[in-house]
Amino acid sequence: MLSYEHWQLIFMGMVGMIMLFTGMQFYQMRSRIYGYYFLYMLFWLIYFYLRNHLFGQSLNEFARVGPPMAAYIMYFLFAILLIDFKTLQPQVYKALIITCYYLFGYIIFDFILCFIFKAFTIHEFIHNLVRFYLIVFSIYGISKVFNVNNKLTVYFLIGSFMVVAGSATAMILSIIKLDEYVFEPLFYMQVGIVLELLCFSLGLGYRQKLITEEKAIVEQALIVERKQHHIEKLEAIIETQQNERRRVASELHDDLGPGLTTIRFLAEKISIDVNKNTVFNDLSIISKKSSELIDNMQHIIWMMNKTSIKLDELVSYIRAYSFQYLDENNLSLIFNCPEEIPVINLTNDQRRNIFLSIKECLHNIVKHSLTKSVEIQISINQILEIIIVDFGQGFLMSEKEKSGNGLKNMKNRMNSINCQMEINSSIGDGTIIKFILDLMKLKDF
């Protein structure tokens, strides 16, 4: 018949092998659940080693409390992670945490009873109460686990039932103190622990399988998301290129088309009227239109040359263009701007729409205002404010808004870049146009 001493060797060997394997998993994965599981088995081995050797009454009595209570603490912490009580059963999670603190305090209290006061009777009474409490609490926890419907709970429930049954049997046998045992009371507890460890090991393996499968699903989803993001990025690039092509085609049509038509018409007219005096006037117009087309082409190239531009570059370009254009049309210009302009990046849309609106504004002044001078004021603080003033004949706002598309186009350009446009004009008092851009909303301000 198998003796208890032989069983002890078998028990220690089985627990030691499971503990060694768990320790290797903890080293590889650095997961707390394997650390708690390893310490749980270690405390049980310490407990049974101390119980089987005589070291004096104080140590022997304390060995019945310290290591097993520490093992129960690790058991509860292990269960919290295995079942995810914090998420699935918050009330059970709080009860488990409170019990862990309670058991830790009990270990310290029992150490004082055994080594300082030698109060072994009180020690024994409290020990039985705590063991009874742990059995009742374990039954309560196990009953709550039934509400968590997954395969992990099956491994946990079977394993917990085994250790509770073994511990209860050992406790009952140790309390009634029979003269003869079929086996030592600790044997039943050890059998329960071995069966529990087998169930928990299976549960850990199944948990790792779930984690691996979930990780694979997440990685696959990330791959699909990256591919989709890449496709969307390519589509956005293509769409941007197509929009830019349409814009360039539109601007070439608007700026160069009429000029080319005029040049063609005049060239045909010259071929018919080659001997008439009007030929020189037509040639002059062709020259002027050609210059305008060259300038327009340069503006288009400048606007397409960069994806972004600094504010000081835009101001310099507006200044150079305004002086050249107004001088060619015999108008004087007063241009005021700050000496130091902060470094602020403007997008291509902001640069293009601001410049084209100013260009349209100057064109209207030359064509309609009958003024002899123009003033441009640029101020930069938390806003960019561009004020264009002509001292010409002015116009009625109500009539201009009904008949003219130029002002509507300018306003549409400004709205597209969140820029305000204000117009103030009256007959005989000239016209004031303001462009206001809130620099605080720019990411580079």
Look at residue 153 in the predicted model and tell me its pLDDT: 87
The one-letter amino acid code at 247 reads R
Give the number of other CB atoms < 10 A from CB of residue 255.
Answer: 19
Looking at residue 76, its pLDDT comes to: 93
Q: Which residues of the chain have pLDDT under 50?
A: 445
Q: What is the pLDDT of residue 125?
A: 93
- Residue 378 CB contacts under 8 Å (≥ 6 apart), including other chains: 315, 318, 336, 337, 338, 384, 385, 386, 387
Domain ranges within the chain, ordered by starting residue: 4-226, 307-445
What integer pLDDT is reported at residue 38 of this predicted model?
A: 95
pLDDT the model gives residue 352 = 85
In this predicted structure, what is the pLDDT of residue 241? 73
Q: Identity (one letter) of the amino acid at 416?
A: S
Give the pLDDT of residue 141: 81
Query: 307-445: what fold?
Result: Heat Shock Protein 90 (3.30.565)
pLDDT of residue 405: 65
